[in-house]
Amino acid sequence: MRPFEDIEALAAEKKGGPDQLAKLLGEHNLPKSEDELEQIGDDRWLSMFTKCVFQAGFSWKVIEQKWPGFEEAFEGFDVARLAFLPDEAFEALLKDTRIVRNGAKIKSVQHNAVFLKDLAAEHGSAAKFIARYPVTDQIGLMETLKKRGSRLGGNTGQIALRFMGKESFILSGDVVNALIRENIMENDRLSKKNLHAAQVAFNDWKATSGRTLNEISRILAFSVGTGH
């Protein structure tokens, strides 16, 4: 595995130099602190999980435009209420024009409300569990989201973590291709072996480069994508 500074140099070359790369990374890419993450209400975690679930395979722009309607329809994503969503409320949501009426995705909101409620019972709040989960074992957190949540596997859970401010990598197509190029992953399958190898590499690059996981995954993507 080559030093991360070599990969960063490749990304800078593709993007027009170190200054342009720094501009692309930007301050908006900085993760929140553990304390900041803990202060986020569990309703906001459910809101973001829901937004990412509905955006998956659909127009992000459309979901963004309709999002105020989602907040109204799901009554602010109150976790306790939605965890016990009665059948008649579910049926009403299937006809609610304020949201995208996808039955399976609507049902996932209730499943994820139950998931977050259970985390809160176990750890004080779901936010506390996620905030304190070590970034050196992101694949463990991803597995928890996949197994205990609904429709939070693949990139959906990873994107939600990133948007909420949790330090994290996203295994996008370009990032996976970069990991394959660096002989970290054998192929593009997110097998346990490949995920473990990716986590080890990210941990090593984080320790040696001083970069956050956010920055490392974006630089990996930039090192594969087209130049500008």
- The DSSP code sequence of the chain is ---HHHHHHHHHHHHTSHHHHHHHH-GGGPPPPHHHHHTS-HHHHHHHHHHHHHHTTS-HHHHHHHHHHHHHHTGGG-HHHHHT--HHHHHHHTT-TTS---HHHHHHHHHHHHHHHHHHHHHS-HHHHHHHS-GGGHHHHHHHHHHHSSS-THHHHHHHHHHHT-------HHHHHHHHHTTSSSSS---HHHHHHHHHHHHHHHHHH---HHHHHHHHHHTTSPP-
Q: What is the mean pLDDT of the chain?
A: 95
Same domain, 27 and 76: no
Query: Which pLDDT value is given to residue 1?
Result: 78
For residue 91, count other CB atoms closer than 10 A to its CB: 11
Same domain, 44 and 26: no
Which of 159, 186, 201 terminates a domain? The answer is 159
Query: Which pLDDT value is given to residue 136?
Result: 97
pLDDT single digits (tens) 79-128:
999 999 898 999 999 999 999 999 999 999 999 999 999 999 999 999 99
Same domain, 92 and 12: no
Query: Which pLDDT value is given to residue 16?
Result: 93
Same domain, 24 and 42: no
Amino acid at 99: I
pLDDT single digits (tens) 43-69:
999 999 999 999 999 999 999 999 999
Section 118-143 average pLDDT:
98
Same domain, 41 and 147: yes
Q: pTM for the whole thing? A: 0.94
Categorize the per-residue pLDDT at 224 as very low, low, confident or very high, splitting at 50, 70 and 90. Answer: very high
pLDDT single digits (tens) 189-220:
999 999 999 999 999 999 999 999 999 999 99
Same domain, 181 and 107: no
Domain count, the chain: 2
pLDDT over 90 percentage in the chain: 93
In a domain, 227, yes or no: no
Tokens standing for residue 101: 């009426």
In a domain, 164, yes or no: no
What range defines the domain where residue 70 resides? 35-159
